[in-house]
Amino acid sequence: MSSWKTTAAAALVLTALTARHLAAQTDELRVLASNGVKAALEELVTAGEHATGHRLAIRFNSSTALNAIIEGGDPFDVVLVTSDLMDELVKGGRVKEGSRVAIAQAGIGVGVRTGAPKPDITSPEALKRALLQARAVTYAQDGASRVHVERMFERLGITSAMTPKTILEQGSIRSTARVAAGDAELVLTLISEILPIKGIELVGPLPAAFQHYVAFSVAVGTHARQPDAATALIQVLTSTLARDTLKAKGLDPPAAVAKGAGQKPLHLYVMDCGVLTPTTEAVERYHVTLAEVGETRMSVPCFLVVHPRGTLLWDLGVIPDEDVGAQPGGARSNVNPTVAAFVPRTLSSQLAQIGYGPPDITYFAISHAHIDHSANMNAFAGSTWLARAAEREFMWADGNTRVRPAFYSMLRNRAPLLINTDEYDVFGDGNVVIKSAPGHTPGHQVLVLNLAGTGRVMLSGDLYHYPQERALHRPPPDNEANVQQSAASRQVIEEYLRRTGTALWIEHDFAANTKLRKSPAYYD
C-alpha cells in the first residue's frame, strides 16, 4: 500500500515537472528587438520575466534584418524596433492595433578603440578634420543611422574621400568589433550601440547640426500567442525603472519632436472643453451651500503644454469630439442624473487652430478618469499615455459607474508609461511635473508647471471643485474614492504649494476660468 502510494506520488511529481517543462517552452515570450536597444533590454530581462511569468526568448538584429524575419513569417509576441520600421509593421498589419508605444530615442555618436586618442568632434569643422584624418571608419550598412551618416558626409563635402576608407558591416555589433580589433579607427552609430560594447569608447555625440535621433517603439504582434504577457512586458519596458536603465545605456526618453521644438520655451494653452451644471443636491455634495458658492457652474478646461522636448495634453473633456462635432451649436449630455454637461466646440478644432493634431502630441495624461476628464482619450491612443497603475485599474473596474470605458476603449490593451513615483518629471528638466494626489480616485494626480513668465502653477484636477471648499476648509465630498486619502492629499498639496510658491488653478472654478487667457493665446 505504502509502496503504491510512493509510486503514484512519484508519477504525479513527474507529470507535474514534465507539464511545467513543456509549459515553459510553449509559454516563452518571443521578442524581436533592434540591436540599438540590446544592452538595455538585456538588463531588463529579469524584471520582464518576473512581471510576465514567462521566459523571454529575445532575438536581436538590425532593423533591416528584423524586417526580413517578420516578412518571412516568423512568429513573435513583442517587437521593439525603430519607429520607422514600426510604421511599416503597423501598415502591414503585423502588430496589434493600438498596442504601439514609443519607448526611447538614441542619438548618433562616434566611438574609438578603448584607450585610443579621442579626436575633437564638437563642431562640424572639427568632425570633418577627424573623419578625413582617420585611416578607416566603419558603420552598419543596414543600421538605422546609415542614412544620416552618409547625408552628413555629403553636407561636409567629403563623400568621395570617405567612400574608399569606409568599412560597411552587417549590423552595428560587427562594426563596433572592427574598431575594437583595430581595423577601423572610428565607428559611427547610435550612442546606445557604442556604450555597451567592451573594447570601444564613446568619443561623443555628433554636433547638433548633424545629430539625428532614432526613435524606438514597442508593440504586440498581431498573432501573439501570449497577448496579455506581451502587454505586461511592454508595461515593464515603459516603467520608470526601465527609463533609468535605458538612459544609462544611451537611450533617452521618447520625445516626439514637437512643432517649434527647441525654439519655443515652455507654453501653456488653456482650451474650452465645456461647462457642467450641477443640481443643488450635487453642489451640496462638496459641503458648501448655494449661497456660499454663488456661481454653481463648473468649467471643464483641457490643457496643452508645449515644451521644447515635446507636448503634453492634460485632461480630455466631458463629451467626445465625435458627438460635439455632430451637433451644430454644441453638444449636451448628462454626466449623471445631477450634473448636466454642455460642450460648445471640439478639442480637436482648438488644437488645429494652433497647428496641432494628434500626431503632434507626445504625451497625454488625465488628472483622473472620471467622465468629465476623459472623453477624448481614444483620439490620442497613438501618443504616450502617462498613468498610474491604481487609476488604470479603477478605469476598468467592474461596476464603476463614475467612468465611461468607451471613452478610452482603445487604451484597453495599450501599455501606458507607468508612473510609480510621487512626482514624475515629464521632460526631464523639472518644469513639467505630474504629482500624485490620490483620494478623489485611486490614482488621482495634479500637474505642476514652472512657467518662465507666469511662474509656478498647479492644475488641480479635482483636488477641489469650488474655491470655497478650500477657503472655508470644508472636508472632501463623501463620495470620494477614499475620503481620508483625499483629505491627506489636500494637506500634502497645500504644504507643497506654500513651500514652493505655486499658484493653484482649480480646474472646475468657473469664475477663475472665465478670467484665464484662452487658446490661441497662451501662458509662458
Residue 244's CB is within 10 A of a number of other CB atoms, namely: 11
Pick between residue 252 and residue 372 the one whose CB is nearest to Zn ion: 372
H or E segment at 49? Answer: helix 45-52
Contacts 24+ apart (CB under 8 A), 494-503: 496/435, 497/458, 500/448, 500/456, 501/455, 501/456, 502/448, 502/455, 502/456, 502/457, 502/458, 503/455, 503/456, 503/457, 503/458
Pick between residue 79 and residue 375 the one whose CB is nearest to Zn ion: 375
User: What is the secondary structure of 5-46 as a DSSP string?
Assistant: HHHHHHHHHHHHHHHHHHHHHHTPEEEEEEGGGHHHHHHTHH
How far is residue 424's CA from residue 435's CA, in Å, rounded to a whole number?
Answer: 6
Pick between residue 274 and residue 310 the one whose CB is nearest to Zn ion: 274
Should residue 142 be labelled a site residue for Zn ion when binding is judged by CB under 5 A?
A: no
Pick between residue 342 and residue 356 the one whose CB is nearest to Zn ion: 342
Pick between residue 462 and residue 480 the one whose CB is nearest to Zn ion: 462
Minimal distance in Å, beta carbon 228 to Zn ion? 31
Should residue 185 be labelled a site residue for Zn ion when binding is judged by CB under 5 A?
A: no
Minimal distance in Å, beta carbon 483 to Zn ion? 16
Show the cell assigned to 285. Answer: 455634495
Where does this chain touch Zn ion (CB under 5 A) — which range of 63-71, 230-238, 367-375, 426-434?
Answer: 367-375
Q: Judged by CB under 5 A, which of 360, 462, 469, 480 binds Zn ion?
A: 462
Characterise 136 by phi-psi region: left (phi > 0), alpha (psi -120 to 50), beta (else).
beta
Pick between residue 185 and residue 462 the one whose CB is nearest to Zn ion: 462
Minimal distance in Å, beta carbon 375 to Zn ion? 11
Label residue 405 exposed, middle or buried (CB < 10 Å: 0-12, 13-18, 19+).
middle
Torsion angle (degrees, nearest 10) of CA 419, 422, 428, 429: 160
Show the cell assigned to 336. Answer: 449623471
How far is residue 383's CA from residue 381's CA, in Å, rounded to a whole number?
Answer: 5
Where does this chain touch Zn ion (CB under 5 A) — which range of 256-264, 337-345, 365-373, 484-492?
Answer: 365-373
Should residue 372 be labelled a site residue for Zn ion when binding is judged by CB under 5 A?
A: yes
Minimal distance in Å, beta carbon 335 to Zn ion? 9
Where does this chain touch Zn ion (CB under 5 A) — which range of 212-220, 241-249, 371-379, 479-487?
Answer: 371-379
Minimal distance in Å, beta carbon 337 to Zn ion? 16
Pick between residue 76 and residue 510 the one whose CB is nearest to Zn ion: 510
Label residue 453 exposed, middle or buried (CB < 10 Å: 0-12, 13-18, 19+).
exposed
Pairing between β-strand 267-278 and β-strand 108-113 as defined by DSSP bridges: unpaired
Backbone angles phi, psi at 63, to 5 degrees: -55, -45
Where does this chain touch Zn ion (CB under 5 A) — which range of 132-140, 232-240, 364-372, 488-496?
Answer: 364-372
How far is residue 375's CA from residue 271's CA, in Å, rounded to a whole number?
Answer: 14
Where does this chain touch Zn ion (CB under 5 A) — which range of 37-45, 410-418, 462-470, 494-502?
Answer: 462-470
Of residues 53 through 82, those in contact with Zn ion by CB under 5 A are none
Best CA proximity match to 368, nearest among 461, 439, 299, 448:
461
Best CA proximity match to 130, nearest among 84, 187, 73, 180:
187
Minimal distance in Å, beta carbon 369 to Zn ion? 10
Residue 503's CB is within 10 A of a number of other CB atoms, namely: 10
Pick between residue 462 and residue 509 the one whose CB is nearest to Zn ion: 462
Pick between residue 46 and residue 479 the one whose CB is nearest to Zn ion: 479
CA atoms within 13 A on the CB side of 222: 13
Where does this chain touch Zn ion (CB under 5 A) — which range of 43-51, 183-191, 458-466, 469-477?
Answer: 458-466
Number of residues this chain uses to bind Zn ion (CB under 5 A): 2
Where does this chain touch Zn ion (CB under 5 A) — which range of 16-24, 237-245, 388-396, 461-469?
Answer: 461-469
Pick between residue 152 and residue 282 the one whose CB is nearest to Zn ion: 282
Minimal distance in Å, beta carbon 94 to Zn ion? 39
Where does this chain touch Zn ion (CB under 5 A) — which range of 40-48, 197-205, 240-248, 366-374?
Answer: 366-374
Minimal distance in Å, beta carbon 406 to Zn ion? 18
- Beta-bridged to residue 484, according to DSSP, are none
Minimal distance in Å, beta carbon 99 to Zn ion? 29
Pick between residue 309 and residue 508 the one whose CB is nearest to Zn ion: 508
Residues that bind Zn ion (CB under 5 A): 372, 462
